[in-house]
């Protein structure tokens, strides 16, 4: 894939023959990659980001009459991202997304909407004998942090944060029983199974964004996900279904982080099945299992819930 990809999206609604209305149109630059290095003496701090920015104008003259006078080139969008990184710095991806959207909305009165989607490469500082390295980093498996910021003219910004590609597994304390059975059901009930998932978790903040510590919130959310999935270190806790695990993750996050209003959780299921070694004359008490490279793409669960008041109402329904 190219380093930067231009994006154009146009939705057209047919009114009458030879007459159309442009319902929505936006364009922008995808996957602008930057490495930002902040030097504090000998200690360096880094942020490597992939940034996509889309904007919508108050005119569609460029589509109807080929008038490009108000079109902001996508190359300008890319240059703006790089310039804002240099001039403003990057403390968190959420704040940088807010900077980008504010720039386009306030600088160009004909930009009516701006969306910034940012992913952060999970670099962690190397340590040796509990001593942090000044300028060396290690790619982490803790998942990819991302955010999405939306802003429209005369409206407050909306900020989403999240984590994706976080892979989790526990080898017991999971089962699936009591499900609906009919003539096409072949799945056996299981009291004890391997639970393995790949996660995509996204949350939304309220309208008051002043003073939010996005780094602290993300770390708390990450810890909440691990606690909800695994349970106490010595014993764990039982998961009766993927669905219950999804809801457990959501409730942990909402209980611990009051600034978060809504949480969406998608779990992609990764299957591990005990292989039959009897033909080799070997007994296999589920120590050896097999999986398939495509298993995580075949099955997923999604649930989006808000704070307790709304959730209780849904349960009553």
Rounded CA gap, 161 and 117, in Å? 10
Measured in residues, the chain has a length of 317
Residue matched to tokens 């990057």: 90
| Whether the Cβ atoms of residue 11 and residue 22 lie closer than 8 Å to each other | yes
Give the residue from 203, 299, 212, 301 showing the smallest Cα distance to 252.
203
Q: Which of 74, 80, 92, 199 is catalytic?
A: 74
Q: Which residues of 170-207 are buried (b: 16+ CB within 10 A; e: fewer)?
A: beeebbbeeeeeeeeeeeeeeeebbbbbbbbbbbbbee
Identify whether 74 is a catalytic site residue.
yes
Q: Exactly one of 110, 271, 286, 307 is catalytic; name it.
A: 271
Decide if 313 is catalytic: no
Task: Find out whether 117 is annotated in a ligand binding site.
Answer: no
Instruction: Compute how many other C-beta atoms are within 10 angstroms of the C-beta atom of residue 286.
Output: 14
Instruction: Answer yes or no: 271 catalytic.
Output: yes
176 marked as part of a ligand binding site = yes
Q: Is 269 annotated as a binding residue?
A: yes
Q: Is 75 annotated as a binding residue?
A: yes
Give counts: helices (H), strands (E), the chain.
Answer: 6, 13
193 is in an annotated binding site: yes
Please give the annotated binding residues for O2, written as ranges: 74, 269
Please give the annotated binding residues, written as ranges: 74-75, 176, 193, 243, 269
Please give the annotated binding residues for urate, written as ranges: 74-75, 176, 193, 243, 269
Please give the annotated binding residues for 5-hydroxyisourate, written as ranges: 74-75, 176, 193, 243, 269
- Catalogue the active-site residues: 29, 74, 271
């Amino acid at each position: 894939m190219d380093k930067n990809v231009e994006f154009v999206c146009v939705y057209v609604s047919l009114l009458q023959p030879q007459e159309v209305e442009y319902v929505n149109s936006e364009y922008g630059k995808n996957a602008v990659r930057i490495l930002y290095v902040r030097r504090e003496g000998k200690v360096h701090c880094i942020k490597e980001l992939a940034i996509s920015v889309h904007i919508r104008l108050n005119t569609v003259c460029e589509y109807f009459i080929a008038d490009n006078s108000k079109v902001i080139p996508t190359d300008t969008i890319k240059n703006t991202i790089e310039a804002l990184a240099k001039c403003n710095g990057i403390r968190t991806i959420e704040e940088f997304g807010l900077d980008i959207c504010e720039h386009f909305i306030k600088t160009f009165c004909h930009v009516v909407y701006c969306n910034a989607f940012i992913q952060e490469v999970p670099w962690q500082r190397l340590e040796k004998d509990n001593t942090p390295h000044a300028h060396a980093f290690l790619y982490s498996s803790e998942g990819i942090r991302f955010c999405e910021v939306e802003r429209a003219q005369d409206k407050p910004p909306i900020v989403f944060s999240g984590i994706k590609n976080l892979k989790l597994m526990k080898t017991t304390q999971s089962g699936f029983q009591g499900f609906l059975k009919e003539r096409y059901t072949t799945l056996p009930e299981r009291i004890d199974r391997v639970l393995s998932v790949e996660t995509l978790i996204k949350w939304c903040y309220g309208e008051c964004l002043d003073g939010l510590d996005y780094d602290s919130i993300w770390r708390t959310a990450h810890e909440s996900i691990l606690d909800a999935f695994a349970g106490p270190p010595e014993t764990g806790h039982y998961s009766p279904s993927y669905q219950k695990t999804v809801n457990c993750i959501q409730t942990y996050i909402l209980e611990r982080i009051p600034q978060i209003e809504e949480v969406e959780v998608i779990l992609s299921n990764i299957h591990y099945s005990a292989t039959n070694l009897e033909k080799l004359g070997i007994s296999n008490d589920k120590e050896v299992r097999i999986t398939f490279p495509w298993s995580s793409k075949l099955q997923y669960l999604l649930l989006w819930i808000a704070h307790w008041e709304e959730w209780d109402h849904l349960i009553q329904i």
